């Protein structure tokens, strides 16, 4: 645990003797504790903390919506969605849990992808898929020929 998180916890508890709203101490391994990462002066005032949470939610929502819009359009849609989740995770425990779960699953998938048997299987399936696509294109060209779009008779 770092000095910063210790200090943040003391300041948040100093006013009432109980943890500030949204603070949860559940953690696993080397991960940071769950809960709000708002500055101590914001956590100390309930209305200011609620306003802070609304602001973080709206900014995160805007980023996630932009990411969803980018999914069918050119752009890094998934990256932007996860950036929005990271913004939410600075304040909301549910977003922190979802983000940790996502990081764990991505790490597991990356480890599985490095397995030589899985790589060999993926390369074989890709080669088979390319052969099938090539055969289909060949059959289409053999049956209909190649006609450029600007030479199509209507």
Domain of 149, in residue numbers: 117-154
**CA dist list (Å): 35 to 20, 62, 74:** 9, 22, 35
The tokens for 97 are 């849990």
DSSP single-letter state for residue 104:
H
**CA dist list (Å): 29 to 1, 17, 22, 38, 120:** 11, 27, 21, 23, 33
pLDDT in tens, 59-118: 999 999 999 999 888 888 888 988 998 888 888 888 888 888 988 998 888 888 888 888
**131 and 104, same structural domain?**
no
**77 and 22, same structural domain?**
yes
Domain count, the chain: 2
Q: Check: CB of residue 12 under 8 Å from CB of residue 41.
A: no
**78 and 133, same structural domain?**
no
pTM greater than 0.75 (yes/no): no
């Amino acid at each position: 645990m770092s000095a910063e998180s210790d200090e943040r916890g003391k300041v948040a508890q100093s006013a009432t003797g109980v943890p500030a709203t949204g603070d949860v101490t559940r953690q696993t391994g080397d991960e940071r504790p769950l809960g709000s990462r708002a500055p101590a002066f914001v956590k100390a005032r309930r209305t200011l903390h609620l306003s802070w949470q609304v602001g973080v939610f709206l900014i995160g929502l805007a980023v996630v919506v932009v990411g969803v819009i980018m999914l069918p359009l050119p752009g890094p849609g998934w990256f932007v969605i996860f950036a929005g989740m990271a913004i939410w995770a600075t304040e909301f425990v549910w977003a922190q849990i979802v983000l940790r779960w996502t990081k764990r699953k991505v790490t597991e998938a990356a480890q599985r992808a490095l397995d030589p048997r899985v790589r060999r299987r993926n390369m074989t399936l890709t080669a088979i898929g390319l052969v099938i696509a090539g055969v289909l294109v060949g059959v289409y060209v053999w049956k209909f020929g190649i006609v450029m779009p600007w030479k199509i008779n209507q």
